Amino acid sequence: MTDLKTWLRERGEQDDGLYERHGKPLEEEHTGEYVAISDDGEIILGTDSLEVDLKALERFGSGHYCFRRVGYEVEGVWRRTA
């Protein structure tokens, strides 16, 4: 099994690719909205971050989608608790 640090790096690279292919085209009309993009390219778009994330979690499953704010740079911190 892959360690967490490696998985996070690989997932981040995958998420960047998903956003480039499927999220960038949304920027002109949907900047500031939230998008969840499944590993297969299916999109959930909305103005409420929690609502979009919960719908994506239900539809795609944990760890199987990219979540971003359209038109914004990604910035985040992953925390692991024991």
The backbone torsions φ and ψ at residue 18, rounded to the nearest 5 degrees and listed phi first, read: -60, -40
- Percentage of the chain beyond pLDDT 70 is 87
Query: Domain residue spans in the chain?
Result: 4-69
At 60, which helix (H) or strand (E)?
helix 49-60
Straight-line distance from the first to the last Cα atom of the chain, in angstroms, rounded to the nearest whole number: 19
pLDDT at 5: 87
Q: Encode pLDDT of 17-46 as tens digits.
A: 999 999 999 999 999 999 999 999 999 999
Q: What's the chain's average pLDDT?
A: 88
Mean pLDDT of all residues in 48-62: 94
Residues 64, 39: contact at Cβ < 8 Å? yes
Binned at pLDDT 50, 70 and 90, residue 7 comes out as: confident
Under DSSP, the state recorded for 66 is E
